[in-house]
Structure formats: structure tokens, C-alpha cells
Amino acid sequence: MKKGLIPQAVALTLLMTGAAQSAEITVSITNLTQGMLFTPRLLVAHTGAVDLFEPGTPASEGLTAVAEGGDTSILSAALDTDFANDQRNQTFGGPLAAASTSADYTFETNDHPYLSLVTMLIPTNDAFAGLDRWAIPTTPGTYTVTLNAYDSGTEANDEINSATSNLTGPDGGALGGVGVPGMAAPAPTQANLGSGGTGVAIESTGGILEDTGAEGNVHIHRNVLGDTNPNGGRSDLDATVHRWLNPVARMTITVN
């Protein structure tokens, strides 16, 4: 073999065997539901020590903020200050409508071997779609994975439209915020929501909601109940629009 061809031969061997970990990936996500939106997505490339969520265990403060309000800043800040577990994270995109695909986003993994993602389903109390410690392939190509919907277990699934309810939380705070009952229901989700629901899995006494149904641990979401009464009933979700089956999302990852 000629001396000048050795680097090319080594590079070809690495490509064929997958021995070289790609540092850059391109990702997109497809919302597979009929009536739910996804909040901006927190994507993390990391070592195996990072664990954004673990079914059967309590949600962290950061995951709670994502699942109840779509806020990725707390979880991102916690990751940034956790120097013991090397990782890189970034929040991508805006609200992703039902039955649509996000733009492609380029993400630098810094050679970390695992990928995780979380995004809230709205309007819900504390549902999120998640990818947990997916091993990034070392061979360049395009890969697809599906994501289930999880319940963070931190809030009762009352299914009350916080934008139209005149009820308040136990501490007097507005419905829909982290730590108080009511669904996070920003403007894009209002068109298909009802009002006047008495609440699912809660007790309403004198206009004060008592949160009685928080499950305590992260688990596969059992879906929403909903009803077909737009001006009352138990739920402000439309059972013909907002119910889903897992998986709720598909991720496309191109390893460059």
C-alpha cells in the first residue's frame, strides 16, 4: 500500500466499523396525536449517569416544571451545574401542532453516547413525552425512534381549563401553574377546549381545589378522560379530540 493512502484507508475502516463516534446529529420530531401540542423540546446528549426521568420514581423539580408548565429552564440549569455528569443540552423550537413535524435542528453531542428528550403535552395537567437514554449509533445514517407519553405524577389530572375557570388553587395561585391544579392551556390550545368542568380526580369545595389525585411517581400516562360536554361535565377536554394512544411522537435522528 502506498504511504499516502494510509489515512484514507484508516478513515474508511472507521466508517465501516462504526468506531468513530459522530459529534453532530440532526433531529426532528413528529407529533402523532390528533389534538395535543408539544412545548419546546429539551434535548440532552450525555453519559449514562444522566437520567431525566425514571418510571416508578418521583419526578425531579426540573422535570416537574417541564411536565406541568413546559418550562425547560430549571432542568437545563440543573444539568449545566451538574459537573459530575458530563452532558450537553439545548431547548429547540416553539409549540408543535398536532399531526405535524418540527424543523430539522442540528445538535452538537460532544461525543456523548446517549440522547434524551422531554416535552410537555398541552393541554394537560402533567403529561410529557420522553426519550430516555437512547444510545446514539456510531454508524452514520438516519434513525427513527418513537416516544411514549408519561405522567410526572406530581399533579392530579383534574382536566380543568385554567384559562376560563374562576377557581383558584389551594394557595390562591392561578390554575395551570407549577404546584397548583389546572391544566396549562396557552392560547393555541383554547380552540378545542370546553369550560365549566367540575374536575376529574379533584374535590371542589367553596371554589378552592384540593389536589387529591397526584400519583407520586412517574408512570406511563393513562390518557385523558375527557367528555363531550363543552359547557360542563367533569372535564374541559373533548374526548373526541384530545385522547391519544402511545406512542405520541416520532423522532428522526440523522447521525452525520
Domain segments of the chain as ranges: 21-256
Backbone angles phi, psi at 38, to 5 degrees: -105, 140
pLDDT of residue 190: 77
Q: Is the pLDDT of residue 2 over 50?
A: no
Residue-wise pLDDT for 233-244, tens only, equals 999 999 999 999
Give the dihedral of Cα atoms 6, 7, 12, 15; nearest 10 deg.
140
Q: What is the CA radius of gyration of the chain?
A: 21
CATH fold, domain 21-256, is Immunoglobulin-like (2.60.40)
Task: Pick the more confident residue, 170 or 118.
Answer: 118
Q: Is the pLDDT of residue 162 over 90?
A: no
Q: Angle at the Cα of 123 (from 54 to 193), degrees rounded to 5?
A: 155
- Residue among 93, 118, 89 at smallest CA distance from 104: 93
Question: What share of the chain has pLDDT > 70, as a percent?
Answer: 79
Model confidence band, residue 8 (pLDDT cutoffs 50, 70, 90) = very low
pTM exceeding the 0.95 threshold for the entire prediction: no
Query: Residue 203: beta bridge partners?
Result: 210
Other beta carbons within 10 angstroms of residue 44's beta carbon come to 23
Give the dihedral of Cα atoms 106, 109, 115, 118; nearest 10 deg.
-60
